[in-house]
């Protein structure tokens, strides 16, 4: 099986793009993460992660319409690719395997 | 609606500047949208702050535009130029090496000269009050024109400060450094220094490590010593304030209290001293000779400090006839000279400023510029000569669409890179040459890399690159691509003419330098070997001090007995230093208006014999005549000025005393040959003598010197003998001429070397281009000799042309230099012929080696290809 590597933040971003389904662009992703996870996200970190995953092929982007509200700048919408989906599944599966391998007494300790 | 709040402008600009262009648009959009959101929720201040924060957080590697990926072409062009330059250096190794050697040695020469010049210009420029410090000089009428002097009346300094409101401070300063003996317990230490009035340390910047500049010399008994003298005497510089020192000059002894320790004088100060003693002590010393100080007794320098923003011309009008007002006599006029100009503008001719060391500064500046130009010409020549090789490159580039601008940039860039490389090599050369250079110039120059030096180095380098790149850049870039690619070389005729012109210029400079060096060398040689009117070989002198001074007769009598000493006697001053002057002289038939200054030489018996001065008329002083103490001997110059045909037996008045003239000496030099022999009177006055002179026997002078110093030390209770040969003193008198002579020889050598390198490159180039022609000529039966002749002809013509231009020019230049000397050589025709021959033969050797190589080649090899 192919190896997929996703960092923790990358995984979050990728999932959020999936959640927003078709409406995922910089600001909406940032707000969504901030709202759901209660942590602040800098544009720099977000963009870095987005571009990185785009270059890995987990995301594709398409330019939206320009609108006056953004100083005439277009939105860049991201969608999760098939490759991206596989990466998410792989991550989830490896995570689950690890969980399953954990002996139960340790989890139930508290 | 209220004023629209906008995100900070600078942050957006910053973002646009650093962010990758393909990411930038939507990121900026996101940021603006966020800003609007924040504005609504959190208010303008916070929104702006968050915006700035986000921009700064975007500054990460993946977001920044890459250097290689810039939109504009400049970086590409620079890269391209560097690449092409190095390729062309590699491809044409010989011309690269010629250029590098020429440019780097040229730059090294120019840089050394720059170091020397800047050191010269810095001399005496370190005083905080510098622009306000002046020296009072005197202008005195004499039959031979106005004589400018530095000696001023003793009473002048105080009177100026008191009576002229524009003079803030004014001090007397003893003119020549005095050898003085400090006594501390049993230990005697010799030191050189000056006497100065109380304000000395507050006027001049000689920093004190201990003591207050305003009070160091506040009392007559106060004195200050240098740190190094303190170390010599006390082995420490601490806790010496208040210690008493005894000191002695000749017969005069006194004591003083140390009230200040000053840092050792900088090497670039005219005045070098190890002690400063209150000037009143010096006055006491002078009084032992002359009784009371009057306006007639002349000796010290007078330095004044003007208040800020005071023009010296204002003061000059007031002090002009200051002395005349005081004395009522026809005495010298006074004027001010900036202290900072003392070193470089030291010469006066007929009352007007007439150069000085500044002339050497100018000469060397010109030489430096010439050397650089000559080196640049090499580069220009070789690159235009090579142009035909690179024309195709230019043509193709232009055909593809290169603009003239970018071609210029390429050639300029190439010469800049070469200049920078040369500068690196030059810096290495300078490090290598600096110790030797310091020995020749007697300076302590070093390369300390401060911002000034770096800027100068860069300026010189860039200027060199610019000059040498200019011609190829404009010439090559201006060609029409179609013609080049078709093989039409319309411009080569013009280019080769320009090349010849430049080579001619190089050789004009070289010939100029060769002639100048010859003339300087001959003049210096002439000065060294000129008959001075006395015999300076085997003549030694040493100061008369301590017991020698107290018991002069006894000393001379005993010393004369030492084997190896033929004559010994005492005189008022060394032969290389001008001594005392006397104005109050009368003779029969003197017109009342004539005011002549005579040199006043005090002698002991036997002095003229020791010097071996020839008598023109009459006799020398002799102990056999009891009354010789009241007689006088004059020199030839004095005889002429007094207009006497048969002076012996006549009387003349010396400071009111009538003295009979018993003899006339032939003129002998007691000053630099820059000056004419002054009229002089000589009298027997042993108490006025300062120097003992002895003539040694020819063989083994060293043994005699040793005997003499043992004797001296015994006689003087341990005082060491400081003896010097008059020969050497004379040498040091012409130190600057000797230095210039040496330096100009080196620099001329370099200029010639550089020119020859250029020529070598050109000849090699010509020979290569005419390789096929030479091959065909040889096949048709031409001899190697005639081919050599054919190739040399062109260059011989160039050298002959430059000789025609350079020789008259060099005559004019050297003649005006020689006019600065009172005693000068004549310019002989053979100087010029010799220089011409040297230049021609150097050319022929350079050209010959190359052409012989070309003419001996096998014609088959050159004709077989294409």
Task: Please compute the mean of the pLDDT values over residues B601-627 and round it to a whole number.
Answer: 84
Residue B267: other Cβ atoms inside 10 A:
12
Candidates B29, B49, B59, B62: best to mutate against A (most CBs of A within 10 A) is: B29
Contact yes or no for B440/B745 (Cβ under 8 A): no
Pair B784, B843: CB distance under 8 Å: no
How many residues belong to chain A? 110
Determine whether B777 is exposed, middle or buried from the number of CB atoms within 10 Å of its CB (0-12, 13-18, 19+): middle
Q: Tell which wins on pLDDT, B289 or B836.
A: B836
Q: Which pLDDT value is given to residue B437?
A: 85
Q: Is the pLDDT of residue B47 over 80?
A: yes
Confirm if B755 and B798 have CB atoms less than 8 A apart. Answer: no
Report the half-sphere exposure of B401 (CA within 13 A, side-chain side): 0
Q: Using the beta-carbon criterion (under 8 Å), do B25 and A45 form an inter-chain contact?
A: no
For B414-468, how does the pLDDT look when each residue is reduced to its tens digit (9 = 90+)? 888 888 898 999 999 988 888 888 887 777 777 777 788 888 888 888 888 888 7
Residue B829 burial by Cβ neighbours in a 10 Å radius (0-12, 13-18, 19+): exposed
Q: Cβ contact (<8 Å) for B58 and A43? A: yes
Q: Is the Cβ pair B26, A27 closer than 8 Å? A: no
Indicate the pairing of strand B631-635 with strand B657-665. Answer: parallel
ipTM of the complex: 0.86
Output the pLDDT for position A29. Answer: 92
User: What is the C-alpha to C-alpha distance for residues B589 and B582, in angstroms, rounded to an integer?
Assistant: 19
Which region among B335-349, B474-488, B593-607, B690-704 has the lowest average model confidence (pLDDT)?
B474-488
Instruction: HSE, CB side, 13 Å, CA atoms: give it for residue B414.
Output: 25
Using a CB-CB cut-off of 8 Å, the residues of chain B touching A75 are: 26, 29-30
Residue segments in chain A with a per-residue pLDDT below the cut of 70: 1-2, 106-110
- Binned at pLDDT 50, 70 and 90, residue B564 comes out as confident
As a whole number of angstroms, the distance between CA B16 and CA A63 comes to: 19
- Of A43, A52, A69, Cβ closest to residue B36: A69
> DSSP states of B522-581 as a string?
HHHHHHHHS--SS--TTEEEEE--THHHHTHHHHHHHHHHSTTEEEEEEESS-TTS--EE
Residue in A42, A63, A73 closest to B54 by CB: A42
Could you tell me the pLDDT band of residue B726, with boundaries at 50, 70 and 90? confident
d(CA A19, CA B608): 120
Tell me the mean pLDDT in the region B631-660.
Answer: 83
Q: H/E/C letters for each residue in B452-496? A: HHHHHHHHHHHHHHHHHHHHHHHHHHCCCHHHHHHCCCCCHHHHH
Domains of chain A with bracketed CATH: 8-101 (1.10.10.10)
Residue B2 has pLDDT above 50, yes or no: no
Per CB distance under 8 Å, which residues of B are interface residues toward A?
Answer: 23, 25-34, 36-37, 53-54, 57-60, 62-63
Alpha carbons B759 and B138: distance in angstroms, whole number: 55
Chain A residues inside the 8 Å CB shell of B15: none
B499-546 residue pLDDT tens: 788 888 888 888 888 888 888 878 877 877 777 777 777 888 888 877
Q: Are A36 and A89 in contact (CB under 8 A)?
A: no
- Cβ contact A27–B27 (<8 Å): no
Q: Describe the crossing of helices B93-122 and B357-385 by its angle, rounded to 10 degrees.
A: 160
Pair B320, B301: CB distance under 8 Å: no
pLDDT confidence tier of residue B1, bands split at 50, 70 and 90:
very low
Closest alpha carbon to B256 in B290, B280, B286, B228: B280
Rounded CA-CA distance B359/B371 in Å is 18
Across all residues in chain B, what is the average pLDDT? 81
B73 min Cα distance to partner chain A (Å):
27
Q: What is the pTM of this model?
A: 0.67
Does the beta-carbon distance from B26 to A74 stay under 8 Å? yes
């Amino acid at each position: 099986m192919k190896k997929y590597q996703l960092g923790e933040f990358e995984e979050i971003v990728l999932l959020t793009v999936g959640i927003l389904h078709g409406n995922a662009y910089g600001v909406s992703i940032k707000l969504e993460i901030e709202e759901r996870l209660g942590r602040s996200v800098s544009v720099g970190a977000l963009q870095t992660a987005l571009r990185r995953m785009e270059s890995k092929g987990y995301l594709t982007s398409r330019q939206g319409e320009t609108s006056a509200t953004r100083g005439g700048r277009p939105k860049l919408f991201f969608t999760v690719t098939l490759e991206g989906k596989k990466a998410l599944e792989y991550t989830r599966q490896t995570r689950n395997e690890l969980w399953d391998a954990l002996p139960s007494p340790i989890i139930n300790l508290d | 609606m209220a004023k629209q709040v906008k995100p900070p402008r600078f942050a957006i600009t910053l973002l646009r500047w650093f962010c990758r262009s393909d990411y930038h648009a939507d990121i900026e959009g996101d940021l603006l949208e966020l800003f609007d959101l924040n504005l609504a929720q959190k208010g303008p201040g916070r929104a702006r702050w968050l915006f700035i924060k986000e921009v700064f957080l975007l500054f990460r590697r993946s977001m920044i535009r890459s250097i290689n990926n810039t939109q504009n072409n400049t970086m590409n062009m620079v890269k391209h130029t560097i690449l092409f330059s190095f390729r062309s250096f590699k491809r044409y190794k010989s011309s690269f090496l010629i250029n590098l050697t020429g440019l780097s040695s040229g730059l090294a020469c120019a840089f050394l000269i720059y170091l020397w010049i800047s050191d010269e210009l810095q001399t005496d420029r370190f005083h905080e009050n510098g622009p306000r410090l002046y020296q009072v000089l005197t202008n005195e009428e004499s039959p031979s024109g106005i004589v400018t002097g530095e000696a001023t009346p003793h009473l002048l300094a105080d009177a100026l400060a008191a009576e002229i409101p524009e003079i803030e401070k004014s001090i007397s300063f003893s003119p020549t450094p005095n050898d003085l003996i400090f006594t501390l317990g049993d230990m005697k230490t010799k030191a050189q220094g000056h006497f100065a009035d109380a304000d000395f340390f507050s006027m001049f910047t000689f920093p004190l490590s201990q003591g207050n500049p305003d009070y160091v010399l506040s009392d007559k008994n106060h004195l200050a010593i240098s740190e190094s003298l303190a170390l010599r005497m006390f082995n420490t510089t601490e806790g010496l304030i208040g210690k008493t020192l005894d000191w002695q000059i000749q017969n005069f002894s006194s004591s003083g209290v140390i009230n200040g320790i000053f840092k050792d004088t900088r090497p670039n100060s005219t005045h070098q001293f190890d002690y400063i003693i209150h000037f009143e002590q010096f006055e006491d010393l002078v009084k032992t000779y002359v009784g009371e100080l009057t306006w007639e007794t002349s000796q010290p320098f007078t330095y004044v400090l003007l208040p800020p923003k005071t023009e010296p011309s204002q003061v000059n009008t007031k002090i002009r006839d200051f002395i005349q007002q005081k004395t009522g006599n026809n005495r010298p006029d006074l004027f001010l000279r900036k202290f900072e100009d003392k070193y470089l503008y030291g010469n006066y001719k007929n009352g007007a400023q007439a150069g000085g060391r500044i002339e050497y500064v100018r000469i060397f500046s010109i030489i430096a510029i010439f050397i650089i130009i000559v080196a640049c010409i090499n580069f220009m020549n070789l690159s235009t000569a090579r142009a035909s090789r690179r024309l195709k490159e230019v043509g193709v580039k232009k055909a593809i669409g290169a603009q003239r601008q970018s071609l210029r940039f390429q050639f300029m860039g190439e010469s800049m890179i070469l200049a920078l490389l040369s500068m690196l090599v030059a810096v290495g050369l300078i490090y290598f040459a600096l110790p030797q250079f310091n020995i020749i110039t007697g300076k302590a120059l070093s390369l300390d890399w401060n911002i000034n030096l770096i800027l100068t180095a860069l300026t010189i380098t860039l200027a060199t690159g610019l000059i040498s790149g200019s011609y190829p850049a404009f010439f090559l870039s201006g060609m029409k691509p179609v013609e080049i690619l078709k093989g039409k070389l319309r411009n080569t005729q013009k280019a080769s003419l320009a090349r010849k012109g430049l080579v001619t210029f190089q050789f004009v400079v070289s010939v100029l330098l060769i002639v100048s060096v010859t003339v300087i060398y001959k003049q210096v040689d002439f000065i060294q070997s000129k008959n001075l009117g006395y015999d300076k070989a085997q003549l030694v002198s040493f100061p008369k001090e301590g017991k020698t001074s107290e018991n002069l007769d006894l000393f001379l009598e005993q010393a004369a007995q030492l084997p190896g000493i033929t004559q010994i006697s005492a005189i008022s001053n060394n032969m290389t230093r001008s001594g005392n002057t006397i104005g109050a002289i009368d003779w029969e038939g003197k017109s009342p208006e004539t005011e002549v200054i005579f040199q006043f030489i005090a002698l002991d018996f036997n002095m003229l014999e020791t010097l071996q001065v020839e008598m023109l008329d009459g006799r020398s002083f002799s102990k056999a005549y009891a009354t010789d103490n009241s007689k006088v001997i004059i020199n030839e110059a004095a005889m002429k000025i007094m207009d006497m045909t048969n002076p012996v037996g006549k009387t003349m008045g010396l400071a009111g005393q009538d003295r009979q003239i018993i003899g006339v000496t032939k003129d002998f030099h007691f000053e630099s040959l820059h000056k004419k022999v002054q009229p002089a009177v000589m009298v027997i006055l042993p108490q006025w003598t300062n120097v003992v002179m002895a003539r040694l026997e020819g063989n083994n002078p060293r043994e005699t010197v040793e005997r003499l110093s043992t004797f001296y030390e015994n006689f003087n209770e341990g005082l060491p003998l400081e003896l010097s040969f008059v020969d050497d003193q004379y040498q040091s008198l012409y130190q600057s001429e000797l230095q210039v002579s040496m330096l100009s020889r080196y620099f001329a050598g370099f200029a010639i070397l550089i020119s020859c390198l250029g020529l070598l490159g050109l000849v090699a180039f010509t020979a290569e281009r005419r390789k096929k022609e030479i091959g065909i000529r040889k096949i048709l039966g031409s001899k190697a000799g005639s081919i050599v002749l054919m190739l040399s002809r062109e260059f011989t013509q160039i050298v002959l042309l430059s000789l025609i231009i350079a020789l008259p020019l060099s005559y004019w230049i050297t003649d005006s230099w020689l006019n600065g000397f009172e005693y000068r050589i004549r310019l002989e025709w053979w100087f010029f012929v010799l220089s011409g021959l040297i230049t021609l033969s150097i050319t022929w050797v350079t050209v010959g080696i190359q052409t012989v190589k070309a003419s001996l080649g096998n014609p088959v090899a050159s004709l077989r290809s294409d």
